[in-house]
Each structure stands twice: as structure tokens, then as C-alpha cells.
């Protein structure tokens, strides 16, 4: 009897604090009740009845046992506390069968439409930067609170630049996230989307700082922009994830730097054999694309200008090997590829052609049976769809990205857009899937934010853009490619496509153009100042070799 009373009390409290779990009321219901649009139930979640679930694209959610919830700027209903006891829920009580998450409910008539952006990469941040916050409220959800200026990330690994020089806080890119009372940034990862209810479901990035782990919440949207990026391709090769370093985030660069400096210092210890010293100081880079080549060039500069001066006991042992299955910089002009090959070889980078079969803790095994010992392994073989993108029950383009039409809309669902590395044109559009480049993502963000700002006043709300004219579709024109190869040398390829004709150049002038172009593309004047000062400091005093952490 006591347990039945507990169950009845829980059900009545559930009804008092907002009705059915996992759902939201219609605009008509909410306006008639005059209820807050940012309320949630603070009861512990109850058993989910999957037979009555209507989550279209939400993967299976484990039970969550939250006793109370709190979120910045969200008004809450009073919380009711119950003794810890087993819940007895009748099958007829369907409104309590889905877990209840705190979060932002759907906007009411008269309120600004809400745009939810998943990600803080190039595409997302270009979109956020230009969004008119007089028309929209904006919510950004990402596991990192900054944008990374990836073209200069390799320079931070060896101390040419400081880490803060390539990281731009998202609140500086879109100030409304910090100042607007109805706009928020949430440090979280999205794990599910319900396109029928116009809701996204998220899990916070936390390390024991919240009373309940994992801490989950939902956000209702009028328009959803998925710019969740991509993940490094490992091709299912055993041992890559466990032993290799990737170079896509600031924390990746920090780990590479610590490992490189640690190996330099360990190799100088007494009693270390010559064979072990050679292994520790062998830096192997897998992948001959722009990232792999630029990192190899930065490493060769670091070795020639700093290691030989400050680590004289082991200077003759340190070595860089770049392994590529085909040709390095395959998208560049053939003359530039040959220049890069000759220059890297001259600077001490050993180029090896091969395919990795398996990665061990201290060596890699190639398909031809060759063992390559290493002390530092950096993996840079391109990117592919993330596990989150793969889990979404949305149309897919060739290659597994989220499929979009010419206006970057996701067909078959309302008010969902995708751009950047996670999106690709569907086959029926007749357009090729664009490469995962920063300039592609930035141009897509620029196009989409112009579209949003143009249609926002009449079609910003959910389900209101079905018959509206969106203008001309997105057209991408390649502006060219650049890559540094170290030693004050770089490559500039201004052709619009691999087979087209155009301006190509290599050498010191190209290096100057490369630096000038990226300095102007850094997001803020603050970071431009940091980058310029770091470059000048490195030129005068050399790179810092302090190992911190």
C-alpha cells in the first residue's frame, strides 16, 4: 500500500509539473495556460515504455535517476522530493513512461524563433558570427567552447605559436551567447534528435561536477543547424586509436608537444641504449595531405633550428618520417608536389610510400611486412562521418554524411539544415560531395546565415518555411590551396580545380603569402595580435622548449 501511495503521488506531481514526459504542449495549449516556456519536471525519471515511444531519430536512452535539475537561466517548477523506493507504474499511466529531461521548451507565439546550432567548427562559427540576434534567439551546443583555427594548429605543437593564439572563444564570435537572456551556450554533446517534436537531446561534458551523472537535458528548436564536424579516418586499422595522436583539436596539439619534449629528455638519460634512443626520437607522420606535410615541415624546422642547439647530445638521433600510400599533396599541381618532395627531403624528412597494416605501442607494421619503430606517431589520413552523424536516421550523401539539397536543407524533415564536414549533397542534386576543407565550411556558413537573416521575420518559426522562396541555391567556387613545407617555404595553388589551369607558385614569396593570408583570416583582432607577436618572438628568440604538465 505504501508503494502504491508513492506511485500515485509521483503521477499526480508529474501532471502538476507539466504533463507527459518526453513531450511538449502545442502553442495553443501553452498560450491558453500562460505557462512558462522554460519549465521542467524535477522528478526522477521513470521506466520508459518503448512500445508507446514516438522518438523518430532518438537512439535508445538509458534510465536517468535525477533528483533535481538546474540550468543557467531556466525557470523551474517546484521540485518534489520522494523517499527512495521502487516505482510501481501501471501500464495505463503512459504519460509517465518516458524520461523527463530539463531544458528549453518550444517558443511561444510572440517570442523570437530559436535557432539551435550543434558544433563550434568553421561552419558553425561563421553561421553564428553573422546571425541577426534581433530576429533570432540562438543556442549553441558543443563539447568545446571555442573555435580552432586549424591551419595554424601544427605550429603550436613545436612552440612556434601559443595554444591560445589558435583558439577563439565562441562567446566572442557571437556575443549574444553571453549577453542575451534567451540565448545560451551549453558545453554538451548531442546524442539524439526528434524531428517530429523539434527537440534535441544532449549530455553535458562533466567530470563529477554535477549532482547527477550523466546529466542530460533537451532543447526545443524552431530551426536546427547541424554542424557537428567529422572524425579522423582510421580505416579500422588495429591499434591506431590507442597509440596514435591526431591533430584536430588544441588538446591534441598539447599532447603531441608534451610527448615530443618528453622523448627528447628521456633519450638523454644515462643507460638508454642507442637502439632505444633512435626509437624514442623517431617521429612518424601517417598521411601526406596538407596537415601531414605542414606538421612534418614544422618538425623539421624545430629540429634544425632548436633541437640541434639545445639538445646537442641527441641531435643526431632525431628523425622525421612521412608515410603516404600514394603521392603527397595529391590535390596540388604536379610541379608543386615535386617541389614539396625535394624540399622536405632536403630538410631531413624521410618520405616513405606504404600502407599501415597494424599499429603497436612502439612500432607500426606496413603491408609489405616492414616494421617501423617510433617514439611519436601522428595520424593524419583524412576525416569521415562521426558516430553521431552515423546514428541519425536522416538521408545520407555518398560517403555517409548527412544529405542536403542545394539550400543545405535536410530533405524529408522540416526546419533541419546541415553544413560543414558532416554534410554532403545528395546524389539527386547532381552536385558532388565537397571536400572537408575549412573554406568549404566557412562558405556554407556564410550562405546559410544570409538565408536565415533574409527569411527570419516571416519564416523563422517552426513549420513556417514550406512554401517560401529561398533564393538561389548554394554554389561553391574553390579559391585555391596553400601549404607550408618548412624552412620559410610554402606552396600556393590558385587553380579552381585539380584539372584546371591557374596560378601556382612555390618558395619564399609563397611562404609570405601563406602567412599573410592566414593572419588576415584569424577570427579576431586579439588573436591576430597574438599570432603576429608569437611569430616575431620565435624569429628573435627561437621556440620555447618548456614541458608543462
Count CA within 13 A, CB hemisphere, residue 476: 26
Pairing of strands 363-366, 371-373: antiparallel
Same CATH fold assignment for domains 103-232+385-458 and 245-381+479-541? yes
What HEC string does 253-298 produce?
HHHHHHHHHHHHHHCCCCCCCHHHHHHHCEEEEECCCHHHHHHHHH
CA–CA separation, 41 and 15 (whole Å): 9
Does the structure show a pLDDT above 70 at 36? no
Report pLDDT for 99: 64
- Measured CA to CA, the distance from residue 239 to residue 252 in angstroms comes to 17
Kindly tell me if the per-residue pLDDT of 38 is higher than 80: no
Describe the chain by its helix, strand, coil percentages, rounded to 5: 35, 20, 45
Give the CATH fold of the 103-232+385-458 domain: FAD/NAD(P)-binding domain (3.50.50)
345-390 tens-digit pLDDT: 999 999 999 999 999 999 999 999 999 999 999 999 999 999 999 9
The pLDDT, as a whole number, for residue 212 is 76
Q: b/e map of 200-210 (b: 16 or more CB within 10 Å)?
A: bbbbbbeeeee
The pTM assigned to this predicted structure is 0.81
Quote the pLDDT of residue 196.
94
Give the cell for residue 207. 567530470
String of DSSP letters for 294-323: HHHHHHHHHIIIIIHHH-TTTTTT-EEEEE
Q: What class is the 245-381+479-541 domain?
A: alpha beta
> To the nearest whole number, what is the mean pLDDT of the chain?
84
Cα angle value 511/513/518 (rounded, 5°): 100
* Nearest 10 degrees: Cα torsion 274, 275, 279, 280: -40
Please write the tens of the pLDDT for every residue from 414-468: 999 999 999 999 999 999 999 999 999 999 999 999 999 999 989 999 998 888 8
Q: What grid cell was written down for 243?
A: 597509440
Residue 467: predicted pLDDT? 82
Confidence band (pLDDT; 50, 70, 90) for 174? Answer: very high
Q: How confident is the model over 79-135, as pLDDT tens digits?
A: 333 333 333 333 333 333 456 889 999 999 999 999 999 999 999 999 999 999 999
φ, ψ for residue 128, nearest 5 deg: -60, -40
Would you say 145 and 170 are in contact if contact means Cβ atoms under 8 Å apart? Answer: yes
Q: Does position 28 have pLDDT exceeding 80, yes or no?
A: no
Q: Strands across the sheet with 363-366, in order?
A: 356-359, 363-366, 371-373
Partners of 192 in beta bridges: 58, 201
Please give the grid coordinates belonging to residue 299: 618538425
Domain locations in the chain as residue ranges: 103-232+385-458, 245-381+479-541
**Per-residue pLDDT band at 507 (split at 50, 70, 90):** very high
Alpha carbon distances (Å) from 294 to 147, 318, 383: 20, 18, 17
- Distinct helix (H) and strand (E) counts, the chain: 16, 25
Amino acid at each position: 500500500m505504501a508503494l502504491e501511495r508513492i506511485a500515485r503521488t509521483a503521477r499526480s506531481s508529474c501532471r502538476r509539473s507539466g504533463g507527459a514526459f518526453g513531450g511538449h504542449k502545442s502553442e495553443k495549449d501553452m498560450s491558453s495556460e500562460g505557462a512558462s516556456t522554460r519549465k521542467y519536471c524535477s522528478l526522477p525519471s521513470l521506466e520508459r515504455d518503448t512500445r508507446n515511444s514516438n522518438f523518430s531519430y532518438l537512439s535508445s536512452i538509458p534510465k536517468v535517476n535525477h533528483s533535481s535539475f538546474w540550468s543557467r537561466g531556466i525557470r523551474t517548477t517546484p521540485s518534489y522530493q520522494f523517499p527512495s523506493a521502487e516505482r510501481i507504474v501501471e501500464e495505463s499511466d503512459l504519460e509517465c513512461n518516458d524520461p523527463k529531461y530539463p531544458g528549453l521548451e518550444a517558443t511561444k507565439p510572440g517570442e523570437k524563433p530559436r535557432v539551435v546550432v550543434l558544433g563550434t567548427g568553421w561552419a558553425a562559427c561563421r553561421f553564428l558570427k553573422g546571425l541577426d540576434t534581433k530576429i533570432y534567439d540562438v543556442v549553441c551546443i558543443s563539447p568545446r567552447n571555442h573555435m580552432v583555427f586549424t591551419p595554424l594548429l601544427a605550429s603550436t605543437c613545436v612552440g612556434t605559436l601559443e595554444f591560445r593564439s589558435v583558439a577563439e572563444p565562441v562567446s566572442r564570435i557571437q556575443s549574444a551567447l553571453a549577453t542575451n537572456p534567451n540565448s545560451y551556450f551549453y558545453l554538451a554533446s548531442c546524442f539524439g534528435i526528434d524531428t517530429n517534436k523539434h527537440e534535441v537531446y544532449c549530455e553535458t561534458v562533466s567530470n563529477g561536477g554535477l549532482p547527477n551523472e550523466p546529466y542530460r537535458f533537451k532543447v526545443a528548436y524552431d530551426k536546427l543547424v547541424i554542424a557537428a564536424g567529422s572524425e579522423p579516418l582510421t580505416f579500422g586499422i588495429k591499434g591506431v586509436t590507442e597509440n596514435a595522436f591526431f591533430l584536430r583539436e588544441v588538446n591534441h596539439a598539447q599532447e603531441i608537444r608534451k610527448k615530443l619534449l618528453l622523448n627528447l629528455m628521456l633519450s638523454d638519460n644515462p643507460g638508454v641504449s642507442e637502439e632505444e634512443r633512435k626509437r624514442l626520437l623517431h617521429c612518424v607522420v601517417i598521411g601526406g595531405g596538407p596537415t601531414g606535410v605542414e606538421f612534418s615541415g614544422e618538425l623539421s624546422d624545430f629540429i634544425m633550428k632548436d633541437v640541434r642547439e639545445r639538445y646537442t647530445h641527441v641531435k643526431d638521433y632525431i628523425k622525421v618520417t612521412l608515410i603516404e600510400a600514394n603521392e603527397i599533396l595529391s590535390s596540388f599541381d604536379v610541379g608543386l608536389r615535386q617541389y614539396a618532395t625535394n624540399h622536405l627531403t632536403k630538410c631531413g624528412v624521410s618520405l616513405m610510400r606504404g600502407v599501415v597494416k597494424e599499429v603497436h605501442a612502439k612500432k607500426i607494421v606496413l603491408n609489405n611486412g616492414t616494421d617501423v619503430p617510433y617514439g611519436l606517431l601522428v595520424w593524419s589520413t583524412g576525416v569521415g562521418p562521426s558516430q553521431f552523424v552515423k546514428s541519425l536516421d536522416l538521408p545520407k550523401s555518398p560517403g555517409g554524411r548527412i544529405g542536403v539539397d542545394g539550400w543545405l536543407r535536410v530533405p524529408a524533415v522540416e526546419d533541419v539544415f546541415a553544413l560543414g564536414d558532416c554534410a554532403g549533397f545528395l546524389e539527386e542534386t547532381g552536385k558532388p560531395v565537397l571536400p572537408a576543407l575549412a573554406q568549404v565550411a566557412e562558405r556554407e556558413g556564410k550562405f546559410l546565415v544570409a538565408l536565415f537573416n533574409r527569411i527570419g521575420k516571416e519564416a523563422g518559426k517552426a513549420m513556417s518555411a514550406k512554401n517560401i522562396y529561398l533564393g538561389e541555391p548554394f554554389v561553391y567556387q574553390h579559391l585555391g590551396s596553400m601549404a607550408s613545407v618548412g624552412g620559410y617555404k610554402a606552396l600556393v595553388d590558385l587553380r579552381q580545380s585539380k584539372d584546371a589551369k591557374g596560378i601556382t607558385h612555390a618558395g619564399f614569396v609563397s611562404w609570405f603569402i601563406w602567412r599573410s593570408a592566414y593572419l588576415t583570416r584569424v577570427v579576431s583582432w586579439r588573436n591576430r595580435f597574438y599570432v603576429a607577436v608569437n611569430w616575431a618572438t620565435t624569429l628573435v628568440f627561437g621556440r620555447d622548449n618548456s614541458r608543462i604538465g
